[in-house]
Amino acid sequence: MNDLNKRTLSLSRTFNAPIELVWQAWTQPEHIAQWWGPKGMKTKVISHDFSVGGTWKYSMLMPDSNEFISEGVYTEIIEHKKISSSANFKPMTEGVEIQALFEKNGDKTNFTFNVVHPTEEYCLQQEKMGFMNGWGSVFDRLKEFVETI
């Protein structure tokens, strides 16, 4: 198996919000719809079964009216610590694992997001396609959401 580090892209943020609030933003459909997706996209939660083995499916509407589907199956949930899921972001990214990691930091929350790709080559391709900017924009929205809710 390829080296996990070479197949993983990561982003970290510190949110000026308590861990309970950041956790809710990730786990409650009405909150997810407020920040999921890059700036300028509207998100609709189609399904959201927040349990191990449960599925999630979100539709993002782009300004040009094209629909972008993201979906997956939860594989691990540790309250206030970790959410892991398979994920497909059609048509751009398929067959990856996403991990949201939460760490209490006083009244703040340290947050790390990992995307684990099946191969090093695919990981590199995704990075070149704009992983950091795309997900960076999503987490800018999440930051704004949890810090103003």
User: What are 63-118's pLDDT values in tens digits?
Assistant: 888 888 999 999 999 999 999 999 999 888 999 999 999 999 999 999 999 999 99
Question: Hey, what are 52's tokens?
Answer: 């191990």
State the amino acid at position 91 in one-letter form. Answer: P
- How far the first Cα of the chain sits from its last, in Å, is 43
For the chain, the domain total comes to 1
Q: How far apart are CA 129 and CA 18, in angstroms?
A: 33
Domain residues for 120? 4-148
* Separation of alpha carbons 78 and 86, rounded Å: 16
Label residue 128 by pLDDT band (50, 70, 90). very high
- Give the model confidence (pLDDT) of 17-64 as tens digits: 999 999 999 999 999 999 998 888 899 999 999 999 999 999 998 888
CA-wise closest residue to 13 among 148, 114, 143: 143
Residue 142 near residue 25, CB atoms below 8 Å: yes
Q: What is the CATH number of the domain that holds 99?
A: 3.30.530.20
Helices (H) and strands (E) in the chain, counts: 4, 7
